[in-house]
């Protein structure tokens, strides 16, 4: 099949493009510069483009997001209006262009940030309240709603609400915890934290799965949670210290409560994330 992918040079997009390419699909990567990935097509495109024309394809996977480097929540910096224009308005234009081009399925990489701050260990199913308290979450929710509004018998939409993504993206040696592990090895003070995580390969599995399963279901629009581990930074660093054969002062336990995402809908389709086994295997690659 032929898939268009935006943001394929970013952290999430690299995992997804690599997986779909390895599965033998034809890919056209959309962005500002030609990709380094061999065997893929390229179309120049930017979220700021006011006119979007897309080639014929079976599906579009939209991963691109414009933000301050290193930040998602708070990624608007001192330009919230530009942040909204690029990410919300630019995404809506992209979805509309996909439908006009006859593309039948659009997969949107959304975020757990669309949920309200529960503060009570709530289990967050896809039906949980969406009342985001950040501009990032608000923009993601607006994009979800725009995609749903476009869906009909000929155009299918899927939003994947992903939690934090760990792992080294294909072609890169740095990852989301690189600075954290460096600070830990150097003995610097580490702030406690508790959060939810999923490996980038498991996210890519989720994308591949919905691309395979959803078009034949006859449902116009669906939302899926993508989350695997509830992970305390103390436990993560204890595992890392064991892999490195080092002793170090661990941070305290992260303050709860947090909302725990339930990916049961995705598991019904056959999704099976790697859990602690995959986390430990990843850490061992860093030794």
What structural domains does the chain harbor? 2-168+197-228+261-271 (3.40.50.720)
| Contacts of 41 by beta carbon, 8 Å cutoff, 6+ apart | 26, 27, 28, 29
Whole-number pLDDT of residue 215: 62
Please tell me the distance from the alpha carbon of residue 191 to that of residue 232, in angstroms, as a whole number.
Answer: 11
**CA distances from residue 253 to 40, 166, 213 in whole angstroms, order as listed:** 45, 20, 40
Element (H, E) at 61: strand 59-62
Half-sphere exposure of 84 (CA within 13 A, CB side): 8
Whole-number pLDDT of residue 110: 97
For the chain, what is the total number of helices (H) and then of strands (E)?
A: 9, 12
What is the 8-class DSSP label of residue 72?
Answer: S
Give the DSSP letter string of 32-43.
SS--SSTT-EEE
Whole-number pLDDT of residue 218: 55
pTM: 0.94
Please tell me the distance from the alpha carbon of residue 107 to that of residue 223, in angstroms, as a whole number.
Answer: 10
Phi, psi (rounded to 5 degrees) for 224: -135, 135
Per-residue pLDDT of the chain (287 residues; tens, 9 = 90+): 999 999 998 889 999 999 999 999 999 999 988 777 767 899 999 999 999 999 999 999 999 998 766 666 666 777 889 889 999 999 999 999 999 999 999 999 999 999 987 677 889 999 999 999 899 999 999 999 999 999 999 999 999 999 999 999 998 999 999 999 999 999 999 999 999 999 999 999 999 999 998 765 556 899 999 999 999 999 999 999 999 999 889 999 998 888 899 999 999 999 999 999 999 999 999 97
Q: How far is CA 67 from the centre of its chain?
A: 14
Whole-number pLDDT of residue 126: 96
Please tell me the distance from the alpha carbon of residue 149 to that of residue 141, in angstroms, as a whole number.
Answer: 12
Q: Give CA angle at 161 (238, 221), nearest 5°.
A: 155
Half-sphere exposure of 145 (CA within 13 A, CB side): 10
* Cα–Cα nearest to 10, from 55, 51, 69, 53: 69
């Amino acid at each position: 099949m032929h898939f268009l992918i935006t943001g394929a040079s970013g952290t999430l997009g690299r995992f997804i493009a690599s997986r779909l390419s390895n599965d033998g699909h034809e890919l056209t990567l959309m962005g500002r510069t030609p990709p380094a990935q061999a065997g893929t097509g390229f179309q120049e495109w930017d979220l700021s483009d006011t006119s979007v024309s897309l080639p014929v394809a079976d599906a579009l996977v939209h991963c691109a997001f414009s933000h301050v480097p290193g930040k998602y929540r708070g990624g608007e910096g001192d330009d919230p209006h530009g942040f909204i224009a690029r990410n919300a308005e630019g995404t809506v234009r992209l979805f509309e262009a996909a439908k006009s081009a006859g593309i039948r399925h659009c997969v949107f990489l959304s975020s757990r940030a669309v949920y309200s701050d529960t503060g009570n260990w709530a289990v967050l199913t896809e039906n949980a309240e969406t009342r985001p308290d950040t501009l990032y979450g608000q923009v993601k929710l607006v994009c979800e709603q725009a995609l749903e509004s476009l869906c009909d018998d000929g155009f299918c939409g899927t939003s994947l609400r992903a939690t934090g993504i760990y792992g080294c993206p294909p072609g890169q040696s740095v990852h989301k915890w690189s600075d954290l592990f460096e600070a830990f090895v150097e003995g610097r003070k580490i702030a406690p934290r508790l959060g939810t995580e999923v490996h980038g390969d498991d996210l890519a599995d989720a994308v591949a799965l919905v691309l395979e399963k959803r078009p034949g279901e006859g449902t116009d629009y669906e939302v899926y949670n993508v989350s695997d581990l509830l992970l305390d930074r103390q436990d993560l660093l204890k595992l890392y210290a064991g892999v490195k054969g080092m002793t170090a002062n661990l941070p305290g336990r992260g303050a709860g409560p947090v909302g725990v995402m339930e990916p049961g809908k995705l598991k019904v389709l056959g999704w099976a994330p790697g859990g602690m086994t995959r986390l430990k295997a990843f850490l061992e690659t860093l030794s």
